[in-house]
Amino acid sequence: MRKFFVIAGFFLVIICQVLGQENRFESKKSFDDLINQADRLKAESKYDSALVIFNFLKNKAELENDTLNLIKSNLGIGAVFFLLKETDVARDYYRKLISMAKLINDSSYINKGFYGIGGTYQVDGNLDSAFYYYENTLPYFIGKNQYKDAALILANMASIYYLRGELDLSIETSLKSTEFAKTSDSPQLEGSNLRMLGMIHRVKKEYEESQEYYFGAYRIADANNFLKDKGEALYGLIRLSRDQEDYDKVIRYYENYISVLEDIYLKGENDQILDLKEKYKTASLELENEKQKRSTTIVLLTSMALVLTAFVIINVIDQRRKNIKTLAAKNDELNKQQIDELLQKQEIASLQGVLEGQETERKRVAIDLHDRLGGILSMVKLHFSVVTESLSKDDQTHAKFMKASDLLDQATGEVRSISHNLMSGVLTKFGLVPALEDLKDKISQTGKLKVSLYSNELNNVLTAEQELQLYRIVQELMSNILKHSKAKEANIQLTKGEDSVNLIVEDDGVGFDLKEVNKKAGIGLTNLKARVGKLDGNFHIDSGRGAGTTISIDIPITND
């Protein structure tokens, strides 16, 4: 399909050249005017038409060696493929524009590219990576008063909060996004936020608020001819009425919904056919006026170009008819994804309970070993000492008792060591950093992995429970590195920020494919998510085959 649109754009360039003026494609419109026109077509779900214009502009910018406009056209193409769920293709275009933006040191488009990549990860279901990109780009756009981009990022973050089941945070973030959308005069984004708020309140069974937001979204879409958005607002009202068992409204909204779909896939095509007729009429008049000036070859080329234009639009119409067949399937797929996310959250919550039970059992066993078994061994040692003192050193029995006494010392030491490991003894006595130093030394002494540790002063900002959970997280990560990574070196960094503590664990091992890991979701990764979730933190994994692994975890500081 991409090749088809590139070819279509190429033939449009031919038309411009044949008709005699460089900007004949859209009369006297500037590059930015055409970008805005393509953006409007994209907003109206006319993705194929938008791609034709974006590709034309991309080819034009390449011919003129215009880096800034090449960046703009790549951003537009990436956005269209993102909306078509072609995430791999979209990421390619975003990475290209980032590389070009770095050449001209344009921070705005660099951050727009990173934001776009975050969006593709969100569509792929990699929510942690998506959130990582959003959090890192949001401050830039707010600081530069680029409120439309800030509103887009906040809208996507609200969607992630919703999928995680954090509904109040999702509402708060959607409202912030709506404020920025109004400030930047972005009605489509404002309507999208209102639909999100309608969905959240419907899930919370706050039906009056839900209906108010859906109606607001419908009014914006209807006033601006955003057909797809209008249909989504109606679909939200259908689901709301179904939840309220108001089936008269369900039927009425369904009739309107079907009418909108017909507008999208039928009326939109008729508009393009009328546009084609107008182009034929204009071209015929121009040919008549310049009949004496143009050669037969030019006339033939112009006619061929018009035929090719008709061919492009016919294929566009055919593609749209195919799209309508997949619309219902995509809605079902989105619903299934949301249910899976909620089930996964419930699974992690259950696992947190299991982990808490494990910690309680560790403490109980450790106390029993230290206080009860350790006490018994100490009493046995005391009795042995009394017997040993009563025997002559030359007596063979004395030597046997001394040997037995040494074995008792070893047993007492082992019991103490096991007890401390279960209770994280160094952690209990001296705190998290000394405990990590002790863990680092023990692993390095095995000769299998060289471990280094860097930390700044934490100033007791973490609770005992937070320190214990962080220690268990590092233990889990070190265990995974030893088992799977084939690494030679590992690095642990623990640093305190203004309102959070950051833990980074990295290795130089073989790495892994993030997509495969996210699909399989083994017990190790699930345990990690559960422990981080227990601390209200978030984490990001950066890895690739042969590229090592870096895991970053942020734990908020609780100010009591």
Q: Measure the N-to-C terminal CA separation of the chain; round to a whole number of Å.
A: 58
Q: What does the pLDDT read at residue 20?
A: 40
Q: What does the pLDDT read at residue 247?
A: 81
**Contacts of range 97-101, beta carbons closer than 8 Å, 24 or more positions apart:** 97/71, 100/67, 100/70, 100/71, 100/74, 101/71
Burial 229-260 (b: 16+ CB within 10 A, else e): bbbbbbbbbbbbbeeeeeeebbeebbebbeeb
Please identify every stretch of the chain with a pLDDT value under 70, giving residue numbers as ranges: 1-29, 264-396, 398-402, 405, 408, 412-430, 516-526, 559-560
CA–CA distance, 321 with 251 (Å, rounded to integer):
25
Q: Where are the alpha helices (DSSP H) in 147-246?
A: 147-163, 167-183, 187-203, 207-224, 227-243
Helix (H/G/I), strand (E/B), else coil: 459: coil
As a residue count, the chain comes to 560
How many CB atoms sit inside 10 A of residue 111's CB?
Answer: 23
Structure tokens at 149: 């981009």
CB-hemisphere CA count at 13 Å for 107? 9
CB 150 within 8 A of CB 138: yes
Nearest to 116 by CA among 93, 140, 100, 139: 93
Structure tokens at 211: 């209906």
Nearest to 41 by CA among 271, 253, 350: 271
Angle in degrees, CA 87, 90, 96, rounded to 5: 140
The predicted-structure confidence for 109-132, as pLDDT tens digits, reads as follows 989 899 899 999 988 989 888 889
CA–CA distance, 475 with 412 (Å, rounded to integer):
25
The predicted-structure confidence for 232-278, as pLDDT tens digits, reads as follows 999 899 989 889 988 888 888 888 887 777 776 655 544 444 444 44
Angle in degrees, CA 77, 80, 81, rounded to 5: 90
Q: Measured on CA atoms in the order 109, 80, 272, 281, is the torsion positive or negative?
A: positive
CA–CA distance, 489 with 481 (Å, rounded to integer):
10
CA–CA distance, 451 with 488 (Å, rounded to integer):
9
CA–CA distance, 218 with 191 (Å, rounded to integer):
8
CB-hemisphere CA count at 13 Å for 522? 7
CA–CA distance, 491 with 452 (Å, rounded to integer):
5
CA–CA distance, 202 with 332 (Å, rounded to integer):
18
CA–CA distance, 189 with 182 (Å, rounded to integer):
9
Angle in degrees, CA 100, 103, 109, rounded to 5: 55
For tokens 């061929």, what's the residue? 304
Q: What does the pLDDT read at residue 460?
A: 76
How many CB atoms sit inside 10 A of residue 333's CB?
Answer: 12
Which residues are CB-neighbours of 50 under 8 A, at least 6 positions away? 38, 39, 41, 42, 76, 80
Element (H, E) at 539: strand 538-543
CB 71 within 8 A of CB 57: no
